[in-house]
Amino acid sequence: MHRTTRRSHREGSDLSLERYLSIAGAKSGEFFALACRAGALLGTDEVAPYSEFGYNLGVLIQMCDDFEGIWNPQGQSDLAAGKRTLPVIYALTVAPPSVRERLERLLVKATVEQEAEEQARQVITALGAPHYLLIEAQIRRQRAEVALRSTGSPSPAYCQLMALLNGRFRVPDDATEILPSSDLCHFQVQTGTD
């Protein structure tokens, strides 16, 4: 098992942020775009905005999964599993060479050592990955909302999708510190006013 995990780290080590987001779009974005497009075909002539909404919702959900997989895992963390998710790729992209080398070593060890896993999580956090995910999530959420609003009149489907977006994927604007959350993509923040 240890060899398989090491190989998965090497296989994902060449992923760029752009490539990862493209994969997330193809994997999760297109899935939700298709579902929203199919639903729209049953009730409206405006299919494209619902497809755009679904695409951005799917990518947003993937980002939320990536956040939860590192800072609030249910079971084994993505670090322990050797997964190269968006926070890891971001950290490796922005890290100075010496920090990147250290993080690469920690990521390999994180698959077998809990202490290395925690150290990798700390490095990823210190490099600003939670804030990067928050910004990317805000962008996807805004794109989904704009697409939905472009449909014009608030139909029952519009209202339900907007309620989903506002209820499950409300991302704060003024975060200064992101803390782990137990609820999918309810980024819990501390603004420094406590």
Ordered by where they begin, the domains of the chain are 2-190 (1.10.600.10)
| pLDDT, mean of residues 133-146 | 92
* Strand blocks (E) in the chain: 177-179, 188-190
**Whole-number pLDDT of residue 183:** 44
pLDDT band at 182 (very low <50, low <70, confident <90, very high): very low
Look-up of token digits 């990536």:
66
Residue 125 has pLDDT above 80, yes or no: yes
**Whole-number pLDDT of residue 189:** 33
**Whole-number pLDDT of residue 58:** 94
**Whole-number pLDDT of residue 8:** 43
The Cα 109–Cα 117 span in angstroms is 7
pLDDT band at 185 (very low <50, low <70, confident <90, very high): low
Q: How many CB atoms lie within 10 A of CB 98?
A: 8
Q: How far is CA 130 from CA 19, 92, 159, 162, 186, in A?
A: 19, 13, 30, 25, 13
